[in-house]
Amino acid sequence: MKKQIGPSGVTRIALYYRVLSSLTEEGVRYVSSEELGERTGNNAAQVRKDLSYFGNFGKPGVGYDLTDLQDKLSQILRKEDSRKMALVGVGNLGSALLSYDRFKEEGFQITAIFDNDRRKIGCQRGGLVIQDVTELKPILSKDGISIGIVTVPSAATQKVVDELIEVGVRAILNFAPSRVTVPDFIILQNVDLSIELDRLSFFLENKGSIPSRAK
């Protein structure tokens, strides 16, 4: 069986895709693994190997056809299936994510938002009405939403996550600092900003030690 790409490889693929978008605007037609590596901070061989997991996209002596490669990566990352997302927790961070333009640009769309705060429920945010989180299950059960973004306080996280899973959400982006447990078939990605700062804080005093990886 052919070896598969790893988690960090996927991150790099997404990065390559970003760079391709820039290059398109610059009117380039072909790009080499060398250049792609340069622009993303990766080794050229790494780039070629990453891409080779999904097929032979390049032409020796020329490089990769830009629009062609873009299509391929778009397909790999499922950019066409417009992904609908639900956001739970319309606090500061949640609100910011709602008006975060880059989600739209990259084909992601938040279509339902929830909170447990009486004062917020019914209000509008980014063109959507904030709904009662206790109504989450009945409301989402028909929507076929596959991605959930959770920006609620730690204490509530597990409950919200469980409910999202019940209504068919299969991937969750969790901004709460608490670790959540999910079944194996669920994709969970934690984003903990204060941990990022802890990392910075550590490396500030131990700079020489470890080369910073470009996550």
Binding residues for DNA, per CB under 7 A?
6-9, 32-34, 42-46, 48-49, 51-52, 56-64
What is the rounded distance in angstroms from the CA atom of residue 113 to the CA atom of residue 129? 7
Residue whose C-alpha is closest to residue 113's, from 74, 154, 84, 142: 84
* Rg over CA atoms, the chain: 20
Give the whole-angstrom CA distance, residue 88 versus residue 90.
6
191 phi and psi angles, rounded to 5 deg:
-120, 110
Q: Name the binder of 201 from DNA, its own copies, none, CB < 5-8 A by kind.
A: its own copies
Binding mask 31-70 for its own copies (x = CB under 8 A): --------xxx-----------------------------
Binders of its own copies among residues 152 to 181 (CB under 8 A) are: 170-173, 177, 179
Residue 37: how many other CB atoms lie within 10 Å: 20
Partner from DNA, its own copies, none binding residue 20, C-beta < 5-8 Å depending on class: none
Q: Are strands 83-88 and 108-115 parallel, antiparallel or unpaired?
A: parallel
Nearer to DNA, 92 or 212 (CB): 212
Shortest distance, position 210 Cβ to DNA, whole Å: 7
- 3-class secondary structure, 22: helix
Give the rounded distance of the alpha carbon of 93 from its chain centre. Answer: 16
Least CB distance from residue 85 to its own copies, whole Å?
Answer: 8
CB atoms within 10 A of CB 10: 14
- Residue 165 binding: pick among DNA, its own copies, none (C-beta 5-8 Å cut-off by kind): none
Give the footprint of its own copies on this chain (CB under 8 A).
4-7, 10-11, 13-15, 17-19, 39-41, 76-79, 81, 83, 85, 92-93, 95-97, 99-100, 102-103, 105-106, 108, 146-147, 170-173, 177, 179, 185, 187-191, 193-205, 207, 209-210, 212-215
